[in-house]
Amino acid sequence: MKTAVIGASGYAGGELLRLLAIHPKFEVAAVSAHSNAGEQVTSIHPQLQSYAGREFVSADSIDFSTIELAFLALPHGESAALIAKIPDHVKIIDLGADYRLENPAQWEKYYGGKHAGAWVYGMPELGAGQREAIKKESRVANPGCYATSISLGIAPAISIIDTSDIVVVAASGTTGAGRSAKINLIGSEVMNSLTSYKFGGVHQHTPEIEQALSAIASKEAKISFTPILAPMPRGILSTITAKLTKSVTTEQAHDLFSQHYANEFFVDLLPQGQMPKTSAVTGSNKVQIQVAVDVHTNRIVVSVAIDNLGKGAAGQAIQNANLICGLAENSGLAFDGVGA
C-alpha cells in the first residue's frame, strides 16, 4: 500500500519511518516535513539509512490520489486542516490529539481552539469491543502515550475499584515533549534531575484517559495525574493506584490481569516478583505490566512500562493501520524490546 508519513521530521515521525521500512505491506511513498522540505531525511534522522537519498517534501506537494494510507504526526491542533484536503479514499491514522476527545468543552479546556470532532479511539486492547470498532473504520485517532500506559494499566481492574479515586504518577523520557528546542529540555537541564510538570491535574491526557475508562466502566472515572520528566530520551513508567471495592489478594489481582490480557500479543503481564523496565520495551510496541494489592491501604497498585515512541505513538499507529487494512495486527511489529 502506498503510504505517506506527514510530520516525519519529529521523533514520532522518525520512529514511524524506521518501523515502516521493515513493514511487509506498507510502502513509504511520501515523506513530508513542512519546515524541512527539501532536506535529506538522513540529515534529520541519520539512523534511517534505508531512506538515504530521499528528501522531505511539503504536504501540499503530495499527490494523494496515489496514496492509500497516511500517518499524521503533527503538533496538536494541526491535523484537522490538512485532513480536510485529503481524499476520502485515503485511510488515516492521526497521531495527534485532534480527534481523540468526544466532548468539545474538554478540547477547548485542555487544548484550545475549535474542536474537530471524534474518530474511533485506537487502543485495541482496551476491551468493550474496541478492536472490532477499529476494524470497521478507515480513520483512527491514535491514543496519547501517557493515556496508553495508564488506561491499559487499570482497565482490567475497573470492576473492582472505585473509579472516582484513581491516582497516577508517571515518568516520561524527553522525546515525549517533541523535537522543538526548549531550554528545560536541553541536556544540562535534564541530566541528573527529575521534575514534575503540568502539576495539579492540568495535563492534556487527563480527559482522554477519563473518557476511555468511563466508557468501559459505564460510569464516571476520575484520575489525579502527576507527570514527571525523566532524564532519558524515551520510555514511560506509570504507577497507578486505586481504592478497591472488593476484597482481593495480590494473587487474585494478578489472575484477573492475566485473564484480561491472555490473548494480547503486545501486553506482557510479568510473573509476580518481576517489575516492568522501560529499557525492556525500548524500540518495541510492547507493554509490560505488574500488579499488587497494598493491604495496608486497600488499594490496587499497577506498574506499567512502554516506549512512548513505540506503543505510545508509532508502533500503536501501525498496529491500528494493520487493523483497518485487514492485516495481521502484529505485521511489521512482531519483535521484542532492545533491553540494556
Residues with catalytic roles: 145
Q: How far apart are CA 210 and CA 3, in angstroms?
A: 33
Report CA-CA distances (Å) from 33 to 6, 26, 41, 119, 261. Answer: 6, 19, 9, 24, 37
Q: How far apart are CA 295 and CA 315, in angstroms?
A: 36
What CA dihedral angle connects 310, 314, 318 and 323, to 10 degrees? 80
Phi/psi at 29 (5° precision): -100, -20
Q: How far apart are CA 313 and CA 94, in angstroms?
A: 10
* Sequential DSSP letters for 105-136: HHHHHHT-S------EE--GGG-TTHHHHHHT
User: Do 230 and 172 contact (CB within 8 A), yes or no?
Assistant: yes
User: Do 284 and 337 contact (CB within 8 A), yes or no?
Assistant: yes
155 CB-near residues (< 8 Å, 6+ apart): 125, 126, 127, 213, 216, 260
Q: How far apart are CA 146 and CA 312, in angstroms?
A: 7
Q: How far apart are CA 272 and CA 276, in angstroms?
A: 11
